Amino acid sequence: MIKFLQKGGKTQKWLFGILLTFVCITMVWYLVPGGMNDPTGTPQQGDVATVGDEKVSALDVEQTARNMAKQQFRGQVPEQVLPLFMRSAAEQLIEQKALVYEARRAGFDVTEAELRDVLRQGQFGEMFFPGGNFIGQEAYENAVQNYFQLGVQQFEEKLREQLLWQKLLSMATTGVAVSDAEIAKEFARQNVKVKLEYAVLTNADVEKLIKPTDAELKKYFEDNKSRYAGAIPEKRKANYIVIDRQKVLEQAKQSINDQQLLAYYNAHQDQYRTPEQVRVRHILIETPQPGPDGKVDQKAVDAARAKAADIAKQVRSGANFAELAKKYSADPGSKDKGGEIGWVTPTSGYVPEFIKGSLALNAGQTSDPVQSAFGFHVIQAEEKKPAGVKPFNEVKDQIAQALAQDKAATELDALAAKVQSQAATEGIDKAAANNHVQAFHSEWFTRTDNLPGVGNAADFMQAVFTAKLNSDPVSVRVPAGYAIAVPTEDQPAKTPTFEEWRSHVEQDFKQAQSTALLAQRSHELADRAHAEHDLKKAAKELGATLKTSDPVTMSGQVPNIGAMSGPASVAFDMQPGEISNAIDTGAGAVVFTVLEKQQPSANEAAQGREQTRETLLQQKRQQRLSMFIADVRSRLEKQGKIKINQAELNRISGGSGSPLSGM
């Protein structure tokens, strides 16, 4: 990974904002089982597309679409809506494979160190390295299989692909800049303040005006009977045992002695070897990227080399490296830190030329210009450490945690199997007592309720609601560890009578009526305020609540209005005294007049300049990314590297139209 373009400070902020948010959204969609490659490069039956030699199978698309739908529906996905997600899923997978293809073509690679880093971060870190400690190889393999339905090798390969296209997108945003004029204009737009007087009509206010009769409610109930079918959900009672993973882990920790730790250390010293490493800072002088014809402006390259050589000469003559970095370096992630990069190792993931140039230096030395795909680097070594092995005492706690995690995973599975077996023959209570774990006897609960010791575990609820009453106990993994359960009683879902559901029907009726009534009254409020040039008078006549805001910017919020960046942003284009149209706030509607409009001061503009610059940079980088992805996609299609099977796509999506290009 080009870490000097991604590491720390402001660069890290925008990269996470642009890429990692997208990764979080798409990770589960993307990490789904895929098929074998088709060496012909032509979509076969059952394949939606091919990208290079990689295929996008209908199965891949269906699984991705299902995961997308699960996120939107927050649970069970109605089969009839699945085709609506198919084309978006196909687009997603084709673009990802196109980016991986382009990244490999450009020579990017992913090291083992980079793979380990991503597994230690974010949601993966919480799953595989809780508290900073590895859960153990067996538990890792089980987690990958259970959560992603993948083997470890397949899972890690898909992660590598994801990291590859992240690197490509990172490179695509190199060199994005904003001008002082753009910064000034954007700061003014974001920091103008308006003070509003506004009249509020809420849904609750309007609902109070609606007084339905029993006859109206009964008719509404009959007209919407399908809406209330099965409205009273199925309920069950269950007896269950919870086996606490943490208790098993604590017991495992206590059973491991120093002799075992030392034996593991001696047998696995390769895990604790530290490579040669050097702590460096650098100055990057960028070179131009190839033009559409693939050629590079050699004069510009020579000028960049000469500039880098002159900087190296200045450093050797006693110039301050940090000041030169702040002045000349094109690496936004390190220039403000005086060019500081940190420790570089043979596997640290920087471009090879940079690694080689860094490791060739001794402490205190400054390199001649080192050329890479990004330009010329002037590198200064601040400290150097030889290769070695971490001492036992330094890694003792780490080993203890890993051994305990491995042992606990095995013992937890064994204990769960033992308790399940005993519960089947001797009952829940006796099995719990025999194994010193807690038994629970629930009251009635639905699939969405929280249960003591279990919480709202979807897998547990699915198992309990599908098992036969008083049958053999089911064993289910839950957040706390394991639950062994037997459902004992059942109340099937049913459609309520009008009398049972009257309060719900009344609320639904009022909500349905209030939408139209709110729109009518809010527009009447705006019309009267405009006609009379008096918002206060119109508010009184319509029974609206009149309020006054504090001065607020576009990034602020106002009670009963919400975010000023939404529909209410029209206030920033209005002049004092103007009255707005009716604005829907979601919870009601408002009409406002601008009382005051305040422009930001020169001092405020100076103080907010850097933040505005970062905001604009992020926006421009997002635009650059969108254009870059579209360009990669278009170019690969023209080169015949992307081929789409329209018939297969239509089959799985149930339609003939398509937003996919090239069809």
All domains in the chain, ordered by first residue: 3-178+615-653 (1.10.4030), 193-231+499-598 (no CATH), 235-246+402-491 (3.10.50), 276-386 (3.10.50.40)
Question: Where are the alpha helices (H) located in 106-255, listed in sequence order?
Answer: 112-119, 122-128, 137-148, 152-172, 180-191, 203-208, 214-223, 225-228, 245-254
**Which residue reads 């086996």 in tokens?**
243
Residue pair 282/378 in contact by the 8 Å Cβ criterion: yes
Q: Which residues pair with 598 in a beta bridge?
A: 193
Residue pair 556/197 in contact by the 8 Å Cβ criterion: no
In the predicted model, what is the mean pLDDT of residues 376-391? 92
Nearest to residue 447, comparing CAs of 458, 455, 437?
458
Is the pLDDT at 40 greater than 70? The verdict is no
Residue pair 489/237 in contact by the 8 Å Cβ criterion: yes
Q: What tokens does 258 get?
A: 């120093």
Work out the pLDDT band at 531, boundaries 50, 70, 90: very high
Q: pTM for the complete prediction?
A: 0.46
In the predicted model, what is the mean pLDDT of residues 72-89? 76
Is the pLDDT at 178 greater than 90? The verdict is no
Angstrom distance (rounded) from CA 382 to CA 343: 10
Residues 6+ away with beta carbon under 8 Å from 355: 344, 345, 346, 348
Virtual CA dihedral for 476, 477, 478, 481, nearest 10 degrees?
Answer: 120
- Other C-beta atoms within 10 Å of 521: how many? 20
Rounded to the nearest 5 degrees, what angle is found at the Cα of 652, between the Cα atoms of 651 and 654?
65
pLDDT computed for residue 77 by the predictor = 65
Work out the pLDDT band at 151, boundaries 50, 70, 90: confident
When the pLDDT of each residue in the chain is averaged and rounded to a whole number, the result is: 85
**Which residue reads 């929280």 in tokens?**
450
The residue that leads in pLDDT, 119 or 14, is 119
Angstrom distance (rounded) from CA 528 to CA 547: 18
Residues 6+ away with beta carbon under 8 Å from 111: 1, 347, 348, 349
Nearest to residue 501, comparing CAs of 291, 222, 251?
222
Angstrom distance (rounded) from CA 267 to CA 271: 10
Is the pLDDT at 9 greater than 70? The verdict is no
Sign (positive or negative) of CA dihedral 83, 84, 87, 89: negative
Work out the pLDDT band at 17, boundaries 50, 70, 90: very low
Residues 6+ away with beta carbon under 8 Å from 202: 560, 587, 588
Is the pLDDT at 7 greater than 50? The verdict is no
pLDDT computed for residue 495 by the predictor = 93
Residue pair 504/558 in contact by the 8 Å Cβ criterion: no
- Mean pLDDT is lowest, of 3-17, 139-153, 623-637, for 3-17
Rounded to the nearest 5 degrees, what angle is found at the Cα of 450, between the Cα atoms of 449 and 456?
90
pLDDT computed for residue 468 by the predictor = 95
Work out the pLDDT band at 378, boundaries 50, 70, 90: very high
